[in-house]
Amino acid sequence: MHVTVVCALTAEARPFIRRWQLARIAASPFQLLATRQRRVIVSGLGVHACATAVGYAAANEAPDAHHLWVNFGIAGHAASALGHTVVATRVRHVQARDAWYPSLLVEPAWPGGEVLTHDQPVLDYPDRQYCDMEASAFMAAASRVAPLDLVQVVKVVSDNREHGPQAVHAPLIERLVEAQLGAFDDWIERWQACVGALPQARADAVRDELLARWRYTHAERTQLTQLCARWRLLGTPQVSAELAACRDAQALLACLRAIVDALPLRLPAT
Amino acid sequence: MNIDVVYVEDAVFDHPRTRAILARVRPRHVIGCSHWGEVFNRNGQNFRLQKTRPALILARKLGQRVLPIPPGYGCGAGGVYFSHMLNCLYDCRYCFLQGMLRSAHYVVFVNYEDFIDDLRSHCAAQSGPTWLFSGYDCDSLALDPLTAFVTDCVPALATIENAWLELRTKSTQVRALFALETQPRTVCAFSLSPAAVVAAYEHRTPALDARLRAMTGLAARGWPIGLRFDPVLPVADYRAIYGAFFAAVFAALATLSLHSVTFGVMRLPRDYRRRMTRLYPDEPLFASAALDDTPSAHALTQEIDAWCAAELARYVPRERLFAQAV
């Protein structure tokens, strides 16, 4: 499973970069660092920067249906201690009525909390919510490129009524984020197991052989893939003399459809 | 059953039924929401993933609570259905809810009294007997230990003089019915399938034997019993599989006086099937041309329908046997 972490600040990203030994893929317009299955992108502050960074990262991703997206960053809270970490169970922009509810399909390593996204740094903390500047945009953007259930927000408290945002500095942020990475990796492993319930892409030798023999339009290629998938589920595919004798892709698809449509549905042997 | 996450609509946080359900569930996370649709109806949710850990949503049903059943219902034609709950504890691969709903989370509408009032008004406006179906968008009984739907609603609905209630279920959660006075116009309708179909497609459901035991227990207490052979799957050797199955069921229930028996071949609207195929691309059931909207598939459906009608007529009087063409 691929994981993309979207951080607003370089100081939030640095602990991930060190821990996962990420290499720089791009420096502009966003810093994007990656290994084979882990990526971190530094979006900059604010909702517009965050949504744009998600789009940029999505356009640069390896094709993979099962991709977890996480917005990991700092937040302010009225009373929680510095370093207290929450997984968002509800995310809302302060000026919006609708909220997002990230799925709790995997038991989180941290307690749940409501994240309220503002356009400016907050000095007057609400009693209950965790205040940030990206999460609502992240939910809106990432849920367009991944299943909503695989879009998550994690926030670490960096400031509160006692310790205001003016006292937040890069070394403190790094320390706070670093302290959560062990729990974060465990959580990712549990996601990996959960996502294992989804179908995985399979190699299909018969499809590959049929693809190699004729020329196909894009639509015909899609039809061939679908027919071969059905064939594999209902029978035992093999390239017969009848198929091999087809003149072109159209004739092949017609012949293949007749074969697949005639296959009966059988109950699995018990 | 473990439900770790419960979303509660702000409007029902203090509802006594919400409190009671939360006390029974004891979830790890209770999350407030302003409207259940914010959680349930969002685009981009993955039904299959959510089935691994469904959440419960407690909400209030506003708007239309009583809806006409689709045409083609053989037993109870002209009746209405109501859904105090959406989704189901079970994970039947053929279930149309996977194609109809965006989320696999369970929704329980806790304002049962509003449903009862609406059903009472509906029945008052009818001149004759009226059927009320409760298990259209859920299993009527499967979550009853949490929802107390039977205890809270069945006696109340039984007081509507022209109402016949159908509780449709695959479950064996009949204890609450055992505790009630028998209601002669409440039909406990059990969906049954051959053991091989249960094993292959009806994940997390009670075994056929357990359903038969629950059924005979209810019948012994005088509850009217219905059998629902729906869906009959268009499998290659359906005559052998379903023939042996019908024989076994009616042998086991030989002493029962059945209220009704219905049957229907599996059918799916095209959009639902497309969504279900996308969710389960590895499922042979959805790969079969027998579910297509084509003349040959329709011919097979008619053939199976005719065979079921003839076969079941060997065990059930014609006036109690109904085809479901929905």
pLDDT tens-digit series, residues B185-219: 999 999 999 999 999 999 999 999 999 999 999 99
Do B29 and A85 form a contact (C-beta atoms < 8 A)?
no
**B183 to chain A nearest CA, in Å?**
39
In whole angstroms, give the CA distance from residue B274 to residue B285.
12
Closest to B218 (Cα-Cα) out of B148, B153, B171: B171
Q: Chain A interface residues facing chain B, Cβ-Cβ under 8 Å?
A: 89-90, 97-101, 103-107, 112, 143-144, 146-150, 194-195, 197-199, 229-230, 233-234, 260-268, 270
Following DSSP, what letter does each residue of A4-68 receive, concatenated? EEEESSHHHHHHHHHHHT-EEEE-SSSEEEE-SSEEEEE--SSHHHHHHHHHHHHHTSPS-S-EE
Closest to B75 (Cα-Cα) out of B165, B155, B161: B165
Element containing residue A175 per DSSP (H, E): helix A170-178
Query: B103: helix, coil or strand?
Result: coil
Give pTM, 2 decimals: 0.94
Element containing residue A214 per DSSP (H, E): none
Q: What's the Cα-to-Cα distance from A8 to each of A53, A83, A114, A172, B66, rounded to whole Å?
A: 9, 17, 19, 15, 49
Q: pLDDT under 70 in chain A at which residues?
A: 62-65, 270
Structure confidence at residue B256 (pLDDT): 80
> Is the link from the previous residue into A121 a cis peptide, with omega within 30 of 0?
no
The one-letter amino acid code at B243 reads: G
Structure confidence at residue A194 (pLDDT): 92
Q: What's the Cα-to-Cα distance from A109 to each of A87, A153, A191, rounded to whole Å?
A: 8, 12, 12
- The answer for B 216-275 residues in CB contact with A (under 8 A) is 233-237, 241
In whole angstroms, give the CA distance from residue A243 to residue A259.
10
In whole angstroms, give the CA distance from residue A173 to residue A176.
5
Closest to B55 (Cα-Cα) out of A180, A103, A203: A103
Contact assignment for B234 to A263 by CB distance below 8 Å: no
DSSP A199: P
In whole angstroms, give the CA distance from residue A4 to residue B133.
47
Q: What's the Cα-to-Cα distance from A146 to each of A38, A150, A151, B42, rounded to whole Å?
A: 15, 7, 7, 13
Strands B260-265 and B225-232, bridge-based pairing = parallel
Structure confidence at residue A106 (pLDDT): 96
- Domains in chain A with CATH codes: 2-196 (3.40.50.1580), 201-261 (no CATH)
B55 and A CB contact within 8 Å? yes
Q: Which candidate from A97, A103, A267 shows the least CB-CB separation from B50?
A: A103
Closest to B186 (Cα-Cα) out of B253, B140, B142, B148: B140
Q: Which residues, other chains included, contact A128 with Cβ-Cβ below 8 Å and sequence gap of 6+?
A: A78, A114
Evaluate whether ipTM surpasses 0.90. Answer: yes
Angle at B301 between CA B299 and CA B304, to 5 degrees: 110
Q: What is the pLDDT of residues B263-292, one digit of tens each?
A: 999 989 999 999 999 999 999 999 999 999
B52 and A CB contact within 8 Å? yes
In whole angstroms, give the CA distance from residue A241 to residue A244.
5
Do B106 and B57 form a contact (C-beta atoms < 8 A)?
yes
In whole angstroms, give the CA distance from residue A89 to residue A11.
25
In whole angstroms, give the CA distance from residue B153 to residue B155.
6
Q: Which candidate from B34, B45, B46 shows the least CB-CB separation from A99?
A: B34
Query: Residue B229 — φ and ψ, nearest 5°?
Result: -95, 80
In whole angstroms, give the CA distance from residue B161 to residue A143.
50
**Which residue out of A149, A227, A230, A233 would a mutagenesis test of the B interface target, given it has the greatest number of B Cβ atoms within 10 Å?**
A149
Contacts of B234 in chain A (CB under 8 A): 265
Residues B242-264 have a mean pLDDT of: 92
Residues B302-316 have a mean pLDDT of: 96
Assess whether pLDDT exceeds 60 at residue B12: yes
In whole angstroms, give the CA distance from residue A134 to residue B200.
45
Assess whether pLDDT exceeds 60 at residue B326: no
Q: B79-115: string of b/e by CB count within 10 Å (b at 16+)?
A: bbbbbbbbbbbbbbbbbbbbbbbbbbbbbbbbbbeeb
* Alpha helices, DSSP H, located in chain B: 16-25, 36-40, 47-50, 97-100, 112-124, 144-147, 149-158, 175-178, 195-201, 208-220, 238-252, 270-279, 284-287, 295-312
Structure confidence at residue A80 (pLDDT): 96
Structure confidence at residue A268 (pLDDT): 85
Q: What's the Cα-to-Cα distance from B117 to each of B15, B85, B122, B184, B196, rounded to whole Å?
A: 18, 17, 9, 21, 42
In whole angstroms, give the CA distance from residue A116 to residue A91.
6
Q: What is the pLDDT of residues A137-189, one digit of tens each?
A: 999 999 999 999 999 999 999 999 999 999 999 999 999 999 999 999 999 99
**Average pLDDT over all residues of chain B:** 95
